[in-house]
Amino acid sequence: MFLAFNPIDSIKLIILDNMHLKLSFCSPLIALASMFTLIQAPISSQAAGEKKLEVFSWWTSGGEAAALDALFSVYKKQYPGVEIINATVAGGGGSAARPVLQTRLAGGNPPDTWQSHPGWELLGQYVEPGYCDEITDLYKSDGWDKAFPKGLVDLMTKDGKTYAVLAGVHHGNVLWYNKKLLDKNGITIGDKIGFDDFFAACDKLKKAGIAALGVGDSGIWASAQLFENTLLGVVGPQGWTDLFSGKMKWDDPQVKKAMGYFAKMQDYLNSDHSALSWDQAVGALMEGKVAFTSMGDWAEGEFVKANKKANEDYGWVSHPGTDGSFIIVADGFTLAKGAPHKDATIAWLKSIGSKEAQEAFNPLKGSIPARTDVDKSKFDVYHQWSMNSFANSSLLPSCVHGEAAPAAFQQALNDAVTAFIVDKNVDNFANALVQAAKESESNK
Ligand code: GAL
């Protein structure tokens, strides 16, 4: 069985129509003419002593580090003799890594390759200022033009030039739970859940003295993600498209309703949430200290790393109200313009795009392979669920992970969430986002 090809028209449209967008996207096929211009030097042609590769990422949690290590192992096997410099900056969602990266890029000191999300983050922050070299020809030479969904490749393509290759595709809107804890409290979760049932379960747990909803927002993005998922649960995929294309306003009653739900959720949080990281919150769920956590499926990487059993120790369902929608959080790697070790970097990108690497990395990371020709039977029950969901859902870009809107709006959302957690003032929250959207519009 193969992962079905999905045209991803919805995600493409949202970003194409985006109110903030001034970059032009086009099919990678348009770049065919230039495909043969970039001749790859064999890895052996590197200068003596220069067989190094610096990989920059924020993959430091247990599951993330294990998955990154799997990518390194495949690379070392495919291209022996290169010393890897593992340049990580801890902090989920790249909250601490991205500012460090920006400083390095602006200072002309780039790592060879770095982790980036498609859409706004890649094209707006890295391609537009000229920090990336195109890798378009690899899509032809390595057959990626047939192996990767065109809709996703388009999100990494500007003016017919493609700038990254995807290691995997995360599912952002997943609600995870401690199965044994819910069983003990007489709570059963079906194959989907709405807000009423979710809050009823939270009330029951609260009465039993249990913090129902685990959050680790020492990096505020984790709370922003809880809001993002809740927002989608209320406005639905069409509303999501309308919000990010400017057709729906951020003070729409539906948005305010989602803000109200998000405020209500704060009543069920673990008291130490602001001291924990996202993976510590997942750890608290495993230990039975909290019942639920709403998190992208990098959480699955933590369950796998801890040898937890799916549907026995933990379970999952789409975040309340979001069944049928899949928030994409895809992880790509770039080629720095002026990469200090260009040949080793091109080899790294070729390795990431190989079936072998995608099959080694994704089971540990929690993401599904970006390649569509991977054998589904090699993946576990969670991945089966996510692959089916990817093939049958509305695919939507994440704002919290830099895909749907420019960095300034992403930051404004984080700031507004930080303020809202304190004042719970829906009008202030909505107005801050209306203002941020206007500023993005006027910066076009
Ligand atoms: C996302 C990234 C994931 C995962 C997560 C938590 O931005 O795409 O791969 O690392 O952050 O750190």
CA-to-CA separations, 279 to 16, 172, 326, 415, in angstroms, rounded: 33, 15, 21, 22
Chunked into runs of 10 residues, the chain (444 residues) has average pLDDT values of 34 42 28 27 46 98 98 98 98 97 98 98 98 98 97 98 98 99 98 98 98 98 98 98 97 98 98 98 98 98 98 98 98 98 98 98 98 92 98 98 97 98 98 96 64
Q: From the CA of 172, how far away is ligand 1's center (Å)?
A: 10
Ligand 1 site-directed mutation target among 59, 95, 218, 414, most atoms within 8 Å of CB:
59
pLDDT of residue 376: 87
Nearest CA to ligand 1 atom 2: 93
Q: Whose CA is nearest to atom 5 of ligand 1?
A: 93
| Residue nearest atom 7 of ligand 1, based on CA coordinates | 93
Instruction: Out of 220, 331, 362, 403, give the residue to mutate to test ligand 1, the one with the largest number of ligand atoms within 8 Å of its CB.
Output: 331
Q: Which atom number of ligand 1 is nearest to the Cα of residue 330?
A: 8
pLDDT of residue 2: 27
d(CA 166, CA 163): 10
Distance 401 CA to ligand 1 centre (A): 8
pLDDT value at position 444? 57
pLDDT of residue 5: 28
Question: Ligand 1 centre and the CA of 94: distance in Å?
Answer: 7
Question: Which parts of 107-159 are beta strand (E)?
Answer: 113-116, 157-158
Report the residue among 116, 121, 278, 298 best suited for mutation to probe ligand 1: largest number of ligand atoms under 8 A from its CB.
Answer: 298
Q: How far does residue 11's CA lie from ligand 1's centre (Å)?
A: 19
d(CA 70, ligand 1 centre) in Å: 16
Atom of ligand 1 nearest to the CA of 57: 10
The reported pLDDT for the residue numbered 134 is 98
Q: With contact defined as beta carbons under 8 Å apart, do 337 and 132 qualify?
A: yes
Q: Which residues contact 115 (CB under 8 A, 6 or more apart)?
A: 56, 57, 58, 59, 94, 97, 331, 332, 333
Q: Write out the DSSP string of 61-101.
A: SHHHHHHHHHHHHHHHHHSTTPEEEEEE--SGGGTTHHHHH
Ligand 1-lining residues (CB < 6 angstroms) = 58-59, 64, 92-94, 170, 296, 298, 329, 331, 401
- What pLDDT score was predicted for residue 443? 61
Tell me the CA–centroid distance for residue 119 and ligand 1, in Å: 15
pLDDT of 45 reads 41
Q: Which atom of ligand 1 is nearest to the CA of 117?
A: 8
pLDDT of residue 3: 28
Q: Are strands 325-334 and 394-397 parallel, antiparallel or unpaired?
A: parallel
Q: How many Å lie between the centroid of ligand 1 and the Cα of residue 254?
A: 28
Tell me the β-bridge partners of 168: 331
Indicate the pairing of strand 161-162 with strand 164-171: unpaired
111: CA distance to ligand 1 center in Å? 19
Identify the residue whose C-alpha is closest to ligand 1 atom 11.
93
Please give the distance, rounded to the nearest whole angstrom, from the Cα atom of residue 93 to the centre of ligand 1: 5
Beta bridge partners of 310: 314
- Pairwise CA distance, residues 10 & 61, whole Å: 32
How many whole angstroms from 404 Cα to the centroid of ligand 1?
A: 15
